[in-house]
Amino acid sequence: MPSIDQQSLAWLRTHHATISTGALQDSGVSLDQRKRLVEAGMLRRVVDGAYAFTGRDLDELARCAAVCTSRPQLVVAGPTAGRLWQIRRSPRDGLIHVLAPPHSHPCREFWLRPYRTALIFDDEVVRRADGIRVTSPPRTVVDLTRYVGADELASMIEDVLNRRLCTAATMQRTALRVATPGRPWAKRFLGVLDRRHPGPAAESDAERRVLEALVARGVRALERQVRVVLPGYGPARFDLAIPALQWALEIDLHPEHCSGIGVANDNVRDDCADVAGWMTRRVGEIELERHFDATIDRLVASIERRRVDADALRAAGRWPPQRSQPSP
């Protein structure tokens, strides 16, 4: 009965149960021994030049590892890279997308999708310990422009910014590198990035959608992630706010807001905000999923009422009701 030596087992453990023919040869496994391991059902072919241990499912990570360890010129990219980086709203197509050199023929597996290009730079490739080479977060988001619409792309941009995977400036430089006449999608990315609302990144896709809807309705001076110190509560952060009106919006999607403790904490914070002169509004998942337009209508009306009240208080010399201190 053929067996797998310790060196090969170590490789399999660190490369998602896959191994290249080169690694097998380096550990002293001959061609005949490799054939016997396949015949015995211990290894199975993934692509030419790479095998997988049969005791584990051939999942996406295993396919990526097999492709990268057997073909050093390939880099996992596009939707697959988006999923590896866990970028929000990345397409889930079950395919392995890679960047490949021009005129190359990586392999003919039905699940592999090469995009041939010479425009891939060393600082745009992340080499993982498991043998997978993947495009960097900024290059991944730029490349995803070819697969998604403007709304999905805007959401992805906010996600990588919020998670601090890269900066807006890095994404812009990356797009400019590949923005040749034959790549109009790179210019489309630059347009979506340029239209981004300035300031901190949206923490959720719902926050981004609400902000864009309010701006489209003519609401101005909205800011994201506004930090204040509320007397009796301490440091707080509003998802969206108009500081000049001391009007704030909280988008409650996390399940903790539905728990007894979460509701009580929200009520205490809202009461402290009220004492400090802030008007707080809250919207939840049901309102945004089932009644989005009506919810935006109510928020716009709330902002307009607050604006009228603020103007009246200013005229009477009573604005702001009480200033909250900026967070240190």
Q: What is the pLDDT of residues 80-95, one digit of tens each?
A: 999 999 999 999 999 9
Q: Is residue 66 part of a domain?
A: no
Domain co-membership, 118 together with 210: no
Q: Is residue 65 part of a domain?
A: no
Q: Is residue 1 part of a domain?
A: no
Q: What is the pLDDT of residues 129-159, one digit of tens each?
A: 999 999 999 999 999 999 999 999 999 999 9
Which residue, of 173, 194, 215, is where some domain finishes? 194
Domain co-membership, 114 together with 189: yes
Domain co-membership, 79 together with 190: yes
| CA atoms of 218 and 196, how far apart (whole Å) | 16
Phi then psi for residue 239, to 5 deg, are: -60, -50
User: What average pLDDT score do residues 89-113 get?
Assistant: 92
Alpha helices (H) along the chain: 6-14, 21-26, 31-39, 60-70, 78-84, 137-144, 150-162, 168-178, 184-194, 205-216, 260-275, 285-290, 292-315
Structure tokens of 286? 């049901």
Higher pLDDT, 27 or 60: 60
Which CATH number does the domain housing residue 287 bear?
Answer: 3.40.960.10
Domain co-membership, 41 together with 79: no
- Evaluate if residue 237 carries a pLDDT over 80: yes
- Domain of residue 33 covers 6-60
Domain co-membership, 183 together with 228: no
Which residue, of 136, 163, 194, is where some domain finishes? 194
- The CB density around residue 235, as the number of other CB atoms within 10 Å, is 11
pLDDT band (50, 70, 90) for residue 326? very low
Structure tokens of 102? 């021009």
| CA atoms of 62 and 2, how far apart (whole Å) | 23
- Evaluate if residue 221 carries a pLDDT over 50: yes
Q: Is residue 200 part of a domain?
A: no
Domain co-membership, 215 together with 316: yes
Domain co-membership, 120 together with 53: no
User: What average pLDDT score do residues 256-276 get?
Assistant: 83
